[in-house]
């Protein structure tokens, strides 16, 4: 939905910032400034690249000795052993209904995946496991999905629909995540806001999400009509951003269009609409990665996955800081928490995106794999995300990242 009154320059800027190439272009601008020692908060030490790549390879070999690495996606955090039959991707016998249920779960689970904080945990009463962080959030969202918390139809609990989402309260979400005074979670209100705005977004776009029972999974029908059985990953990201851009609160706006995970940086010149803005689209790219498998179940193959970038989040960024690839220039970077909009966090995230491309290329070389055999989506899973968690735990027993973020539950 395009607001009226936009100039052609504004429309072009919006379209550009919704493409993965814009992420690489703008983060490269900040990386070039870092190399020239012209950023306020960080420099880069590329002499550490080999050390980081070897650490990632070592982590990957520990987790996947045969280097048969799966895609980086939300279902990895849930675990196939916890999924009920309609939600387990298989090679045969699946239906469009199964694909839509898997899409529903992937979308709502990713939107609930922002950092939970170090104090929160989840007790899975089905398996007896105690889980934290991404795994805990993933399983909590699965159990809520199984219970029909996101559905307005008691006869169809395994779905997410606009009516069900709009009826959610903070109490409902607190129950899903087992939140209490002794088990606090970061950004509960922000997560609820995202789900309410998701309800509004899908209800207002019947051409994408259906008119009778608007649900995220109906995106399958729309994408099939638009693209047939093959869809470029960059196009998929743009479709995700165009479909869900209105749900993100308090973000940069051009001519009435909410841009999502896009932030200004003072080192970039204001020479036209949006030229000073740096897009990351972390959750939207994480969602795009996570849609690949359920779309395949529905008969749509996503191609050109290397068009997408690495995810600008604290595990990948923490890996680069902890191993000396991204270097803080002053103690204020690590001594206090920062808002996502701060130039500290924008610089850190931008340099992380550039470093992930470089790490990915070096990992491919060390493992003698082509970009097709080991695309970035697998390097992340094998990979940088796990290596970031591993080095954080080695350096800080609590496993927190080296830089603290004041999260509202909608970015990280």
pLDDT for residue 1: 46
Query: Is residue 173 domain-resident?
Result: yes
* Closest C-alpha to 376, from 294, 298, 292: 292
- What percentage of residues in the chain have a pLDDT greater than 90? 75
Among 93-102, 144-153, 282-291, 359-368, which is the least confidently predicted range?
93-102
Query: Is residue 385 domain-resident?
Result: yes
Whether the bond into 383 is cis, omega within 30 of 0: yes
pTM: 0.88
Query: Is residue 390 domain-resident?
Result: yes
Number of domains in the chain: 1
Among 72-86, 277-291, 296-310, which is the least confidently predicted range?
72-86
Tokens in use for 342? 């701060």
pLDDT for residue 118: 82
| Residue 127, CA distances (Å) to 51, 182, 234, 286, 399 in order | 38, 22, 38, 26, 24
Q: Which domain holds residue 316?
A: 8-395
* Closest C-alpha to 97, from 86, 107, 85, 81: 86
Query: Is residue 406 domain-resident?
Result: no
Query: Is residue 411 domain-resident?
Result: no
What is the residue-averaged pLDDT of the chain? 91
Task: Identify the band that residue 77 occupies on the pLDDT scale cut at 50, 70 and 90.
Answer: very low
Q: Contact 250/190 with Cβ under 8 angstroms?
A: no
Query: Is residue 197 domain-resident?
Result: yes
pLDDT for residue 412: 65
Mean predicted confidence (pLDDT) in 240-256: 86
**C-alpha of 202 from chain center:** 19
Q: Which of 89-93, 246-250, 391-395 has the highest mean pLDDT?
A: 391-395
pLDDT for residue 81: 45
pLDDT digits (tens, 9 = 90+) for 104-140: 999 999 888 877 888 999 999 888 999 988 889 989 9
CA dist 340 and 263 (Å) reads 8
Query: Is residue 402 domain-resident?
Result: no
Mean predicted confidence (pLDDT) in 406-411: 74
Q: Which of 117-131, 249-263, 291-305, 319-333 has the highest mean pLDDT?
A: 319-333
Tokens in use for 302? 């996503």
Query: Is residue 408 domain-resident?
Result: no
């Amino acid at each position: 939905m395009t607001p009226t009154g936009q100039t052609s320059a504004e429309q072009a800027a919006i379209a550009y910032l919704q493409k993965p190439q814009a992420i690489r272009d703008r983060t490269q601008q900040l990386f070039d400034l870092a190399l020239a020692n012209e950023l306020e908060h960080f420099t880069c030490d590329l002499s550490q690249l080999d050390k980081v790549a070897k650490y990632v390879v070592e982590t990957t070999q520990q987790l996947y000795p045969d280097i048969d690495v799966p895609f980086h996606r939300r279902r990895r955090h849930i675990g196939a052993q916890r999924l009920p039959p309609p939600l387990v991707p298989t090679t045969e016998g699946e239906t469009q209904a199964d694909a839509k249920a898997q899409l529903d779960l992937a979308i709502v689970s990713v939107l609930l995946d922002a950092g939970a904080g170090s104090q929160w945990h989840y007790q899975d009463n089905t398996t007896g496991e105690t889980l934290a962080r991404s795994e805990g959030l993933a399983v909590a969202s699965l159990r809520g999905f199984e219970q029909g918390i996101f559905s307005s139809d008691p006869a169809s609990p395994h779905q997410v629909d606009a009516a069900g989402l709009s009826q959610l309260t903070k109490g409902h979400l607190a129950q899903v995540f087992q939140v209490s005074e002794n088990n606090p979670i970061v950004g509960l209100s922000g997560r609820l806001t995202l789900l309410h705005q998701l309800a509004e977004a899908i209800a207002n776009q019947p051409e994408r999400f259906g008119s009778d029972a608007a649900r995220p999974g109906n995106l399958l029908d729309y994408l099939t009509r638009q693209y047939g059985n093959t869809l470029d990953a960059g196009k998929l990201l743009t479709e995700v951003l165009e479909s869900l851009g209105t749900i993100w609160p308090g973000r940069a706006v051009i001519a009435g269009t909410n841009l999502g995970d896009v932030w200004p940086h003072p080192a970039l010149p204001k020479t036209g609409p949006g030229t000073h803005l740096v897009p990351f689209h972390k959750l939207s790219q994480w969602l795009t990665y996570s849609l690949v498998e359920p779309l395949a179940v529905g008969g749509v193959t996503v191609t050109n996955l290397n068009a997408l970038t690495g995810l600008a989040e604290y595990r990948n960024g923490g890996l680069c800081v902890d191993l000396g690839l991204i270097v803080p220039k002053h103690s204020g970077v690590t001594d206090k928490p920062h808002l996502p909009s701060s130039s500290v966090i924008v610089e850190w995230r931008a340099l992380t995106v550039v470093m992930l491309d470089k790490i990915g290329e070096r990992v491919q070389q060390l493992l003698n794999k082509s970009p097709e055999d080991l695309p970035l989506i697998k390097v992340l899973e094998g990979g940088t995300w796990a290596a970031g968690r591993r080095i954080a735990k080695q350096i800080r027993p609590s496993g927190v990242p080296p830089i603290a973020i004041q999260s509202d539950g909608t970015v990280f």
